[in-house]
Structure 1
Amino acid sequence: MIEKKGKLLAVAPMMDWTDRHCRVLHRTLSGRATLYTEMLTTGAVLHGDRARLLAFDRSEHPVALQLGGSEPADLAQAARIGEAEGYDEINLNVGCPSDRVQSGRFGACLMREPELVAQGMAAIGAAVKIPATVKCRIGVDDQAPEESLFRLVDLCAEAGVRHFVVHARKALLQGLSPKENRDVPPLDYPLVWRLKRERPELTIVINGGIGSLDEAEAHLKHVDGVMLGRAAYHTPAILGEVDARLFGEGEAVGPFEAVRRYRDYVARELAKGTHLAAMTRHMLGLFHGAPGARTWRRILTVEGVKPGAGFEVIDAALAAVSGFEDERAARRLEAGEAA
């Protein structure tokens, strides 16, 4: 079994979701989770608005920059920029199945070019001192996963990579949408467990369809770490249990406490001209399953997008949820007294 000190928990890079505002919210819930940026192409990093694209808050550490690309020289240059900006890790995307990504010769289609991936990782490793890691699928289309996954990992390991995040599904590049590629191809967790068992010197993190910390703990008997995706985004309160439950540190962080911790960041961003909705859209699932969750979402969604919306919107939504909590507590008290 993996020793507690060796456990890793990460939040997956998710396009249009894990922006800097989302990552700060997630950091209020867990100090130990590794956070990842949305995938940024090497072209965007080299030629785009770096101040906007690469910005992150100091509270986000440890935070990894995920790159999309295949040209070793461009990957090396983009990695150097990421390191200079203060990122703690450079991760290469070898898993995204979208048509746009395929046309750019990066993402999951690179599972078919493991030698090129290894060349890119060697270039990144030579360019930076921070860890260079890979996030991949187990294969694509008609590949045999037990061959495609192990070949990619072995070639990258020869290039110096020691940390791999494996989405335990194939990607079907023809006929399935990116959304379907997150659900339709069957999961093969045992293959990823086998990878760790047969390559014990490597750090192996498993990803794909993991929806709870119970499931995460089950995987941690076989691999070094777990990466949560949609579960962390849609029900972010799950992250509030991570530090206490997986690492034995502190107490669980509830959604009310997370909002309190997020307040200063929201205030700073509002002062810079950031729209409230850019931040509150990541908070919609914070009270998932709790009394008043629907009201919480409605107030943030309807009021948060209005011009000039400020923290009073969050306060109003919070008051509504608190009201439901108070009502439930009163009912419990009455039931106890009646008994």
Structure 2
Amino acid sequence: MTHQTIDFSVAPMMDWTDRHCRAFHRTLSHRARLYTEMVTAPAVLHGDRARLLGFSPQEHPVAVQLGGSEPAALAAAARICADFGYDEINLNVGCPSDRVQGGNFGACLMREPDLVGDCVAAMKAAVAIPVTVKCRIGVDEQDPEEALDALADAVVAAGVDGLIVHARKAWLKGLSPRENRDVPPLDYDRARRLKARLPQVPIALNGGIASLAQGRAELGPLDGMMLGRAAYQDPELLLAVDPELYGEAAPHEDAFAAVEAFEPYIAAHLEAGGRLSDVTRHMLGLFGGRRGSRIYRRRLSTEAIRPGAGLDVLRGAVDEVRRRTDAAAA
């Protein structure tokens, strides 16, 4: 039986998918493509690049998401990111925050497909790695059929290497960024119609996908799925990515083994002067639904933030779950 490979990635999420989150997620899946938080082109050009762009070699394959609307600045930023060793440059044409609108990037660029095409062309000319776009299906009163087709046609003409479609509109007037993640209705059919029209273009589905099974059921002709909050809030599901989507063994047999394998990374972070909570805040969703998971979360939430907190705090929290899991199985 041949195994159908489905491209899988974890969405870029502000304040969540930092380098520690990505290193943890990589412990759970060798194959998932990981994305940075969005970083603006001006920040890359003028900010602390080591802090903004630094990552661990173990994170590969890892993509950086850029925000911006000036082709020259994006090209220069893309070149810097490629030199850092990223595997892909992704342009944000989907974020609905007020800050994004003020800077003329993110979802408001759905109204300027030709400009987005110029941005992609400039980045493609600057780097040898893939350049992709993550977009919505439209904003505000736009017709999603016209808006998404116009955006897709412009970036395809510019040589884009793939599209990730968050299959809902962004309402820039009247909804908060949080509401824009849930309130506008999902329209997976719209993404599938785009793929039918552009069969040669790799297109992945994003938005509201709560599980691998749901993602597989919704893909149809689409090439991949991107999970955001589901993967962050229930990271254990990432252990199923390699076997279920790639036909390969998971990196570890269970979440307990994954945490043990991750300990050297945490120890190195602590040795460098970092705080335990920098890393463990991304691990709170692990063991969700298991006996002891509430105690695990509470111990990490209260004890990991204390000055000098070490690996014994994490081990103690994990042991609470392990003891109850073993007792339930006895």
Written as runs of structure 1 = structure 2, the 5 A alignment for 1:8-27 is 8-27=7-26
**Is 1:269 aligned to 2:259, yes or no?**
no
2:300 counterpart residue number: 300
Contact kept in structure 2, 1:169 and 1:208, CA below 8 Å = yes
- Using the TM superposition, give the Cα deviation of residue 213 of structure 1 relative to its aligned residue in structure 2, in angstroms: 1.0
- Alpha-carbon separation, structure 1, partners of 2:153 and 2:253: 39
Written as runs of structure 1 = structure 2, the 5 A alignment for 1:176-325 is 176-251=175-250, 253-325=253-325
Count of aligned pairs:
328
Written as runs of structure 1 = structure 2, the 5 A alignment for 1:136-215 is 136-215=135-214
2:37 counterpart residue number: 38
- Alpha-carbon separation, structure 2, partners of 1:95 and 1:186: 15
Matched to 2:226, the amino acid is M
For residues 234-256 of structure 1, give each alpha carbon's deviation from its aligned partner in whole angstroms, at most 9, with x where no partner exists. 00001110000111101474211
Contact kept in structure 1, 2:192 and 2:219, CA below 8 Å = no
- Alpha-carbon separation, structure 2, partners of 1:287 and 1:65: 29
- Using the TM superposition, give the Cα deviation of residue 221 of structure 1 relative to its aligned residue in structure 2, in angstroms: 3.0
Contact kept in structure 2, 1:97 and 1:108, CA below 8 Å = yes
- Using the TM superposition, give the Cα deviation of residue 222 of structure 1 relative to its aligned residue in structure 2, in angstroms: 2.6
2:28 counterpart residue number: 29
TM-score under structure 1 normalisation?
0.95
Written as runs of structure 1 = structure 2, the 5 A alignment for 1:78-89 is 78-89=77-88
1:69 counterpart residue number: 68
- Alpha-carbon separation, structure 1, partners of 2:59 and 2:289: 27
- Using the TM superposition, give the Cα deviation of residue 217 of structure 1 relative to its aligned residue in structure 2, in angstroms: 1.3
Show structure 1 runs of 5+ residues with no match.
Answer: 331-339
Matched to 1:120, the amino acid is C
Larger Rg: 1
Contact kept in structure 1, 2:3 and 2:247, CA below 8 Å = no
After the TM superposition, list the runs of 4 or more consecutive aligned residues in structure 1 that deviate by more than 3 angstroms: none
Q: Percent identity?
A: 59
- Alpha-carbon separation, structure 1, partners of 2:238 and 2:10: 9
Matched to 2:146, the amino acid is E
Matched to 2:199, the amino acid is P
- Alpha-carbon separation, structure 2, partners of 1:55 and 1:310: 23
3-state SS of the aligned residue for 2:210?
coil
3-state SS of the aligned residue for 1:37?
strand
2:51 counterpart residue number: 52
3-state SS of the aligned residue for 1:70?
coil
For residues 187-216 of structure 1, give each alpha carbon's deviation from its aligned partner in whole angstroms, at most 9, with x where no partner exists. 000010111111100000000000011111
TM-score under structure 2 normalisation?
0.98
C-alpha RMSD of the superposition: 1.1
Show structure 2 runs of 5+ residues with no match.
Answer: none
